[in-house]
Structure 1
Amino acid sequence: MTTVNRTTGTRPATPPKTVTPRPARRRGPRRHTHRDLAVLCVLLGLPILLDLALVWGPTLASVALSFTTWDGVGDIHWAGLNNYADLFADYPQFWPAVRNNLLWLAALGLLATPFGLLLAVLIDRGVRFSRLYQSTLYMPVVLSLAVVGFIAQLILSRDQGALNALLGRQDHPVDWLGDPDLNIWMILLAACWRHTGYVMILYLAGLKSVDPELKEAAAIDGANERQAFFRVVLPALRPVNVIVGVITVIEALRAFDIVYAVNKGRNGLELLSVLVTDNIIGEASRIGFGSAIAVVLLLVSLGFIITYLVQELRGEQRR
């Protein structure tokens, strides 16, 4: 029964009721339904099966066939290391192809990559018509290397090429693509023209993600633009450097389209990828020998990529 205060005529405040909290229910692991399992199998299982069937399956088959002599039709005969011995000692096109692949790697790594970085820095500073420059320089990237090879033929052809016409050499034209001492350098220029735009876009995206406060702190400490770039900005671009390095190695070692479009990769334009194609698909149909060349190309690619990635990971750990 509630009592009333006679002096004030008010009732005393009712104390609040205490609510006892209910214990939280422990949620166990959610069980996957049959529909969830089906979705996982489709989204994960199919890509894994395609990767095994289209990448790792042919890779392991090439490694196995490299120790055999097989023409694709008859019986498979075990050859041991004879294919590799013949490749290194008795195949005259092998070492020129290795040299050309190394030249390809040096050109893309030492010419196209720094030039692409320079263009990215200039565009990132906001020069006039930067969007026009960006679109124009990126345009060659959307072209395949085969199309770049056809463009190189139009420009560098001996009889009807634009370069000889500009130089006024119609009477004594220079055979830019037929001379073995010149054609590799001309094709490398065309490949660098395409690779520069790719590198520029990657570095431009990386520069946009660099914290502006880092540059301001370097300026406060008295660093000029060159010092701020090499000591602050470039180390911050380490993830982009890894991507660019791996892509450069892959592009250099898998080059095929442009030289095959020019002269089928012969007469000074030999590459390891062309030798693989000529031996496996060509008239000789030496699948075992061509597989040995493919294995050498695979090992060289993995050697470059693994070495580069290990060095970059060690650098990240030291920081």
Structure 2
Amino acid sequence: MKNKKTKDLAIFALFVFPTVAFVLFATDIPFVMNLYYSVFNWNGIGKNMEFVGLANYVKIFTADPLFWKGVRFTLKFAVFYVVIVNIVSLTVAIVMARENKVNSLGRAFYYIPYIISLTAGSLIWKFILGPGFEALYSVTGWEFFNWSWLGTPKLAFYVVVVMAVWQNLGFYMVNYIAGIIAVPVELLEAARIDGATSFQVFRKITIPMIMPAISICMLTSMTFAFKLFDIIMVFTKGGPANSTVSVAYNIYKEAFVNSKYGLATAKSLVFVVFVLIITAIQMKITKSKEVEA
């Protein structure tokens, strides 16, 4: 009996250890190192590290308007992106849920952008909005194609949102389709027999039944929004006039362009706490809906 318990424990450790080790080295240790570096004035390369205590944190809250501008942009982007991508992907999923050849092709059509890297997708959009629209303007003369899409702050923001939605729509669509297919057909038929309209069936049965899928999509879309970097790096580089500087891009520039690694790690920790609070609130809301369902 004792040998069996020892053997089971050894097998358990064998399977669990790789995951624990990965989490430890990929997240926990870097997080502790970030805490350490955040109290130093360091360029990230040299051996000389000047201890400054909480000076980096004080600077963030009192003398770093660009960081907070990045926070405002990221929050605004998160609101627009999360709402639009979930509404559009759920709508597409409802249309594409039925199994047939046309819908199979449609699903592939919507999913293709997701398998393209964000960098490649950004370059495609940059070409379309640049040389592509210039060529269309020369042919059609439509002023729409002559707008400065990436040179106007308001337009640049909406272009970033649209590009992000286009890139990731397929991923959320697949999740919603899986949830819709899993809804028992008997419930839907019973509701229709009782005289419920299509909207009532969707609101009272479909939505509650797919709440787990909604929770996953809300969480992953919010995570993507807060980590926004690739699109900004390739697409706008924070411009025009720093109007599209995300927090992730601001931290990157602070560490690798301005060589202020200590300040950058302090910013990352402040933002991590900020994101954890928002994510906890969002998860509590969606989980409560799942329980009700």
Normalization by structure 1: what TM-score? 0.82
| Greater fraction of residues in helix | 2
Q: How does 1:189-268 map to 2 (within 5 A)?
A: 189-267=162-240, 268=243
Instruction: Write the distance in 2 (CA, Å) between the matches of 1:305 and 1:29.
Output: 44
3-state SS in 2 of match to 1:181:
helix
The question of whether the paired residues in 2 share the 8 Å contact of 1:152 and 1:187 is answered with no
Instruction: Write the distance in 2 (CA, Å) between the matches of 1:85 and 1:193.
Output: 39
Instruction: Write the distance in 1 (CA, Å) between the matches of 2:99 and 2:288.
Output: 35
Aligned length: 287
| Counterpart position of 2:20 | 48
> What do the CA deviations read for 1:134-170 (whole angstroms, capped 9, x no partner)?
100011111121111101111111xx2x223334459
> What do the CA deviations read for 1:114-146 (whole angstroms, capped 9, x no partner)?
010000001114577111111000111111211
| CA drift at 1:102 | 1.4
| Counterpart position of 2:74 | 101
* Alpha-carbon RMSD: 2.4
The question of whether the paired residues in 1 share the 8 Å contact of 2:37 and 2:265 is answered with yes
Amino acid at match of 1:280: A
Instruction: Write the distance in 1 (CA, Å) between the matches of 2:33 and 2:215.
Output: 30
The question of whether the paired residues in 2 share the 8 Å contact of 1:215 and 1:232 is answered with yes
| Counterpart position of 2:31 | 59
Q: Mean Cα displacement is larger for which, 45-54 or 204-213?
A: 45-54
Relative to structure 1, the CA distance from residue 65 to residue 263 in structure 2 (aligned partners, 3 Å threshold; closer, same or farther) is same
| Counterpart position of 2:270 | 296
Same amino acid, percent of matched pairs = 25
Normalization by structure 2: what TM-score? 0.89
| CA drift at 1:32 | 4.5
Verify: 1:281 aligned to 2:256, yes or no: yes
Instruction: Write the distance in 2 (CA, Å) between the matches of 1:316 and 1:260.
Output: 37
Instruction: Write the distance in 1 (CA, Å) between the matches of 2:33 and 2:197.
Output: 56
Larger Rg: 1
Q: Mean Cα displacement is larger for which, 272-281 or 76-85?
A: 76-85
The question of whether the paired residues in 2 share the 8 Å contact of 1:141 and 1:195 is answered with yes
Instruction: Write the distance in 2 (CA, Å) between the matches of 1:127 and 1:50.
Output: 42
The question of whether the paired residues in 2 share the 8 Å contact of 1:108 and 1:195 is answered with no
| Counterpart position of 1:6 | none
3-state SS in 2 of match to 1:182:
helix
Amino acid at match of 1:188: V
The question of whether the paired residues in 2 share the 8 Å contact of 1:107 and 1:188 is answered with yes
Instruction: Write the distance in 2 (CA, Å) between the matches of 1:221 and 1:47.
Output: 50
| CA drift at 1:42 | 3.6
| Counterpart position of 2:135 | 165
Larger RCO of the pair (alpha carbons < 8 Å, separation 6+): 2
Instruction: Write the distance in 1 (CA, Å) between the matches of 2:184 and 2:291.
Output: 21
* Aligned pair partner of 2:285 in 311, 315, 318: 311
| CA drift at 1:317 | 4.5
Q: How does 1:85-164 map to 2 (within 5 A)?
A: 85-125=58-98, 129-157=102-130, 160=131, 162-164=132-134
The question of whether the paired residues in 1 share the 8 Å contact of 2:211 and 2:289 is answered with no
Structure 1 unaligned blocks of 5 or more: 1-27
Structure 2 unaligned blocks of 5 or more: none
